[in-house]
Amino acid sequence: MANASQSAPKTIFTVSSHAQDQDPERTQASASAVPDAPAGRESVMDKIGNWAPFLLIRSAHPRQAVLTAIGLAGAAVIAGLTTREVALIAVTVLVGQAVLGWHNDLVDQAVDHRHERDGKPISDGRLEPGGVWFALCCGVLLVIPLSVTSGTVAGLFYLGSLVLGMLANVLLRRGLLSWFLWAAAFACYPGYLSYAGWAGEPAGGPPHWAMVALAAALGVGVHFLTALWGLVADNEDGWTYLPLKAGLKLGAGKLLLVTLVYIAAVIGGMLYVASVVGLRG
């Protein structure tokens, strides 16, 4: 939470107004009672941690974004794409995943604030939602040309996955069909890689049906994995989605183990199919 006694620079990523809703007299008394912090490592780290670009990166779900970009870039390498095509895919996916992360935190800001979740700069007032919406729109304007640079058909597959991912942030997420949009979004990835080329030139062909099915199955596993960290809060809110039902029956520890084994098995199946029939079959 940004300190209300400090003056924030004029920037589009400003401290939210509710973070400054404090009694001025109490704030002044607190400031006079506490000695100034010595200039050192902690104060520098605090400044970096509350720097708007850094907060924007945290709100983009960076770990999931980087892992997804690495995963699809690795799949592109296995599929035999050129170095520049692989690099383009990595950058495109990284931007697209940032857009999904910002959208998720914007949609969940009220829930995140109610449960006081860590690492959520929007809900704790350190980032103004309007600034994040601006970044999200810029990301969309960037990811569209990046996507179609791999080819029109390939670009449509990836943009379709983003639309499905954003829909997953707002639809079906509380019920037993929460996995469906995740599966549909991941099922678009083989098509994106299969048709990917360079400079918008048509390339490739339709992906093998087995690869599409396995990608959809992987999406279900990733849904379970990402849901694990919020099961307690979601149970308090009365959600009934499939990962929560499984967590209540197995326990979070066993569910994590089962999910990791499941994801490993699906990835193993994808590698086997890629080695036998290839991405396009």
Q: Would residue 17 count as lying in a domain?
A: no
Q: What is the pLDDT of residue 16?
A: 46
Please tell me what DSSP assigns to residue 117: -
Using DSSP, state whether 8 is helix, strand or coil.
coil
pLDDT band at 1 (very low <50, low <70, confident <90, very high): very low
Burial class of 134 by CB neighbour count within 10 A (0 to 12, 13 to 18, 19+):
middle
* Range with the poorest average pLDDT among 39-53, 131-145, 175-189, 261-275: 39-53
Q: Would residue 38 count as lying in a domain?
A: no
Asked if residues 271 and 206 have their Cβ atoms less than 8 Å apart, the reply is no
Please tell me what DSSP assigns to residue 170: T
Burial class of 41 by CB neighbour count within 10 A (0 to 12, 13 to 18, 19+):
exposed
Q: Would residue 40 count as lying in a domain?
A: no
pLDDT band at 130 (very low <50, low <70, confident <90, very high): very high
Looking at the 3D structure of the chain, how many domains does it have? Answer: 1
Q: Would residue 99 count as lying in a domain?
A: yes
Q: Would residue 152 count as lying in a domain?
A: yes
182: Cα within 13 Å, side-chain hemisphere: 21
Owning domain of residue 116: 49-277
Q: How many CB atoms lie within 10 A of CB 261?
A: 11
Q: Would residue 206 count as lying in a domain?
A: yes
Query: What is the pLDDT of the chain when averaged over all its residues?
Result: 83
Q: Could you tell me which residues come within 8 angstroms of residue 177 by beta carbon, excluding any fewer than 6 positions away? A: none
What is the average pLDDT across 179-191?
96
Query: Which of 185-194, 196-205, 244-253 tops mean pLDDT?
Result: 185-194
Q: Would residue 33 count as lying in a domain?
A: no
Using N-to-C axis directions, what is the helix angle for 209-227 and 252-276, rounded to 10°? Answer: 160
Q: Model-level pTM?
A: 0.80
Q: What is the pLDDT of residue 204?
A: 79
**Does 18 have pLDDT greater than 70?**
no
Q: Would residue 203 count as lying in a domain?
A: yes
